[in-house]
Amino acid sequence: MRRWQGAKSLSLLIFLIGVPSAHGQYCRATISMINAARHVIGEVNAECPPSWHTATWGNWGVSSNFGGVSDADQFRGWKRSDSQGHWNSCTRDHIRDTDLDYYNHDHNGNGWGDDQWIDTAHIYTGAQFDIWTDCPRDTNYDGRCDTGGCLALSSGFGVGGQFLSLYELDWPDGDDFITTLYVDSGCCSVMPTCTWDWCDEAYSPWYPTVYSTNTNITANVIMKFWYAAFVDSNGYCEQLRYQDPQYNCY
């Protein structure tokens, strides 16, 4: 009993001086942002001849909250070219409602192509966060850590204010700005299942883009929370385990 009270006193002291959270322990979370249901409805005049650039078809990149533009499938188009999916990037020169060469989707329902659409999901960026946390601790002395570590993320993790700026990519010179899409303000949070040392994969709901600055383009966005792992970079929590039974819970 005396030992238990002593442990409680030490825990109180540690709590008061705030030491456990200041010694390099954190929960490292990795996320990806994914778009799908990409729909190009409005005019796009980014790749119109006369120009020395390759006319009409273009690969689009995304600059966003967590990453920059890359020649990858960040905003994959529907027309397969090279190994990537391209968009008709000069709709000015291609009359709608005539054929399916330049528009692959029948938005008006009249049997002809009049806009561009593709539904596949693609990662456009990702990020990693080191989230300060307290050392894992057993507050009710049942031998299991019930607070601290990655358990802090059990109540949720989220990112806000998401946007995607789209560019038609050129080689070797500067890229052509298409538009900036703003995602629904609810985007994006998850409630991962966590233990003191690990959080499992989780997905937010899909959110639509709600505003496009330059032309009518829409998409849906989701956050994939890959995992989170506890890191005790200075070994401080490990030391605490030998000093206080409350911290000796793993």
Partner 1 sequence: MSVRSVMVTATMAATIGVMFVSAAELRVQVTESGTSAPVNAVVVAVGAFPRVISGLTDATGSVVLQLPSLERVAIAVRTDTHGTTCIASERIQGNSVSVTMTPSIRVYGVVTDASGAPVADATVSTTYEVQPECRVRFDVGAPAARTNQRGEYVVRNVDLNRNPLLTFQHPSLKRVTIDKLAFSESDRMQRRKELNVRLDNR
DSSP string, 112-145: S--BEEE---EEEEEEEEEEE-PPPB-TTSSSS-
Least Å distance between CB 3 and partner 1?
33
Q: Which of 16, 50, 111, 171 binds partner 1 (CB under 8 A)?
A: 171
In this complex, which beta carbon is closest to partner 1, that of residue 66 or of residue 112?
Answer: 66
Is 65 near partner 1 (CB under 8 A)?
yes
- 3-state DSSP assignment of residue 92: helix
Looking at the Cβ atoms of 141 and 211, the one nearer to partner 1 is: 211
Tell me which residues in 176-215 interact with partner 1 (CB under 8 A): none
Binding to partner 1 by CB under 8 A, coded x per residue (else -) over 113-142, reads ---------xxxxxxxxxxx----------
**201-204: which pairs have CB atoms within 8 A and are 24 or more residues apart?**
201/225, 201/226, 201/227, 204/158
Across 20-38, b (16+ Cβ under 10 Å) vs e yields bbeeebbbbbebbbbbebb
Span near partner 1 by CB under 8 A; candidates 1-9, 40-48, 91-99, 158-166? 158-166
Residue with tokens 């949070």: 189
How far is residue 118 from each of residues 4, 115, 121, 136, 142, measured CA to CA in Å?
63, 10, 9, 45, 53
**Cα–Cα distance between 120 and 118 in angstroms, integer?**
6
Q: How far apart are CA 158 and CA 188, in angstroms?
A: 6
Which of 176, 153, 154, 152 shows the shortest CA–CA distance to 166?
Answer: 176
- Regarding 26 and contact with partner 1 (CB under 8 A), the answer is yes
Residue type, 169: L
Of 14 and 152, the one with the shorter C-beta distance to partner 1 is: 152
Q: Is 158 a binder of partner 1 (CB under 8 A)?
A: yes
Least Cβ distance, residue 127 to partner 1 (angstroms): 5
User: Residue 16, SS3?
Assistant: helix
Stretch of 34-42, 88-96, 157-165, 209-217 lying at the interface with partner 1 (CB under 8 A): 157-165
Start-to-end C-alpha separation, the chain:
22
Stretch binding partner 1 (CB under 8 A), from 59-67, 88-96, 100-108, 235-243: 59-67
Stretch that binds partner 1, among 38-46, 58-66, 98-106, 134-142 (CB under 8 A): 58-66
Q: Which stretch binds partner 1 (CB under 8 A): 25-33, 107-115, 205-213, 234-242?
A: 25-33
Q: How far is CA 245 from CA 1, 43, 148, 234, in A?
A: 13, 66, 15, 20
Distance of closest approach, residue 74 Cβ to partner 1, in angstroms: 7
Site for partner 1 contains 42 (CB under 8 A): no
Residue in 50, 109, 111, 172 binding partner 1, rule: CB under 8 A: 172
Q: By CB under 8 A, name the binding residues for partner 1.
A: 21, 26, 30, 32, 63-74, 82-84, 122-132, 152-153, 155-161, 163, 169-172, 175, 226
